[in-house]
Amino acid sequence: MKRIYVACGSGVATSQTVASKISSMCEDEGLDVAIEAVDIKSLENIIDQCDIYVSIVSNDANIFDKPTVSGIPFLTGIGMDDEWEKLKSFIEL
């Protein structure tokens, strides 16, 4: 099972919305994942506990040594298919 963290400023609204969307999409595809919404301030201390990071904050992509996808497309729908395919490829590794 892959562990995915979705982080935003507070770990409440935006990250919860994206985590729920990704969770539903993974369930539809039969992918075995655990998804958790976290706040960006705690991420540095817990990043080593996840396999994949979904970034909501636009300027923090790839600052951690983890496979990273953008969460913004899961909010807007724009570019979501590409990010979804990237996320699935990380899950299936």
Q: Do 33 and 3 meet the contact criterion of CB atoms below 8 Å apart? A: yes
**What's the pLDDT tens digit per position in 36-75?**
999 888 888 999 999 999 988 765 555 678 899 999 999 9
Please name every residue paired with 53 in a beta bridge, in sequence order, or none if there are none: 5, 68
**Domain 2-91 of CATH type 3.40.50.2300:** yes
In the chain, where are the structural domains located?
A: 2-91
pTM metric for this prediction: 0.88
Report the distance separating Cα 54 and Cα 35, nearest Å.
Answer: 10
Residue 91 predicted with pLDDT over 60: yes
Report the distance separating Cα 70 and Cα 62, nearest Å.
Answer: 10
